[in-house]
Amino acid sequence: MILEEKLREIAMKLAEKTRSRQVAWLPHEENERTVVVAFPHSGIRLSRVVEKFAATDTFKLTLTNDEGIPVASILIEESDSDWGIINQMYNTAFREATRWDAAVEDVEAALNVAGLVGIDV
């Protein structure tokens, strides 16, 4: 399908820009495993799909219109040739969107100091 091929092409370009830190990824408000990037009249959602008994990771890349309505999506499974690139993009985007690495550093720094921890202690 032409749209699927176009979405894979978009995914590769987005991965390249993500590696160069040129994408403003944001956390999705409703799904903690999804990151989003907004464009003037569209958007992209990148989700890690977690199946209860699945042995492999799958990603879903969704194109949305100017109203946030999904118009097309593709699944990228571990067996796909571009899975590694998408996995790297997701990991980078998720870290940048959620700033989980800074949160971990903050907690570790507090725990490495003698005495009480926590604000207002």
pLDDT in tens, 41-58: 999 999 999 877 766 789
If one compares 31 and 112, the residue with the highest pLDDT of the two is 112
Task: Look up residue 85 and give its two tokens.
Answer: 């690139």
DSSP-H helix ranges across the chain: 2-19, 83-98, 100-111
The mean pLDDT value for 23-39 works out to 92
Task: Look up residue 78 and give its two tokens.
Answer: 């571990």
Query: Rounded to 5 degrees, what angle do the CA atoms 48, 42, 70 make?
Result: 55
The rounded distance, in Å, linking the Cα atoms of 96 and 49 is 19
If one compares 7 and 121, the residue with the highest pLDDT of the two is 7
pTM above 0.85, yes or no: no
The rounded distance, in Å, linking the Cα atoms of 60 and 118 is 38
Residues in the chain: 121
